[in-house]
Amino acid sequence: MIIYVAAFACSIPVTNGHAREVGLFGLVPWHKVQVWGLHEDFHALLLLADICVACIGVRLLTNPDLDHILVQ
């Protein structure tokens, strides 16, 4: 859930000012002008969150005894 919140926090600046990139150029090494910015961070975090949810689903499908942990 925290990763989804982080992803959508990255999407807010992109949505509000997509024409002018509001990246963290210089502060984080992977941001490059016109190559990698907050928009791509949003997609990467969203992918990571989806993979985490899928792993939880697979774990619950392979071990149904863990169901009680999520219900509480």
What pLDDT is recorded for position 72?
53
Domain ranges of the chain: 2-71
Mean pLDDT of the chain: 78
Global confidence as pTM: 0.69
Task: Tell me the two tokens of residue 64.
Answer: 């149904």
Q: Could you read off the pLDDT of 33-65 as tens digits, one per residue?
A: 767 777 788 889 999 999 999 998 888 888 877
- Within 8 A by CB and 6+ apart from 3, the residues are 45, 48, 49, 52
Nearest to 38, CA basis, from 55, 18, 64: 18
